[in-house]
Structure 1
Amino acid sequence: MSFKINWDALGIATSIACAIHCAVLPLILTSLPIFGTNIIDNEAFEYFMILVAFIIGANALWHGYKRHHHKTSPYILFGIGILLLLAKQLWHEWQLWFLVPAVIAIVYAHFRNYQLCRRANHCHTSDCNH
């Protein structure tokens, strides 16, 4: 039995986890500082999450580009999403205005990459995106 990672699914999950962290966590876990834990508005943690999303996303998109479809549109969408995540960090008072389109762009980039991999002429097996 062979274990293969669906990098696009992992990229989508990472993007959604980032969105949940940024949008929902402050509303639910406002008591964390009482216990000495502060991941809300923790700049190092925020940049770490962006880095993780970038590494996983870039790997997923590279695999799809190189082995299956040779289209740059997923990379462009992904790049826009990452830039919006970085803008969210720079202009913190506008973070939700940057976060929503960032997550949409990144998730759609992975979805588009997945679609293009599936549509590739040589792609007829279930392990096409691995």
Structure 2
Amino acid sequence: MDLPPRAKRSNIFIDACLNLGEPLSATQVVRIRDISEGGVRIQGKSPGVGARIVLTRGETEMPGRVVWTADRHFGVAFDEPINVDAVLKAAVPRSPERPLYAAALTSGLGHFHRQTPRGRKTFGLRVAGAGR
């Protein structure tokens, strides 16, 4: 039995936003590990086989349904073919768990210390060594 040729796949490691396609449903950032015009393999917690989802990266929305799940990966079949190049070139979404200012606080700038009066708090955190 001859099977149709499989669509070209790109093995990648990029972020995208996933939600269940319902108003007020939570959005989570997931990792796309492999993508083709017809589907995607995602690293993250699966909403379950058969779940309808909308995957978003930049301006590209990719509605589909979960068709398989295994360990920490799951596969999504898109409702319609997508433009893989547009998805790969799209802007990276920000994780809701790590706001932009958190990146600055954890970016390895530990050698920079600002002098503050004793007991003064900055961003809700007590400054180590303040007033010494």
| TM-score between the two structures when normalised by the length of structure 1 | 0.27
RCO higher in 1 or 2 (8 Å CA, sep ≥ 6)? 1
TM-score by length of 2: 0.26
Higher alpha-carbon Rg: 2
More helix by share: 1
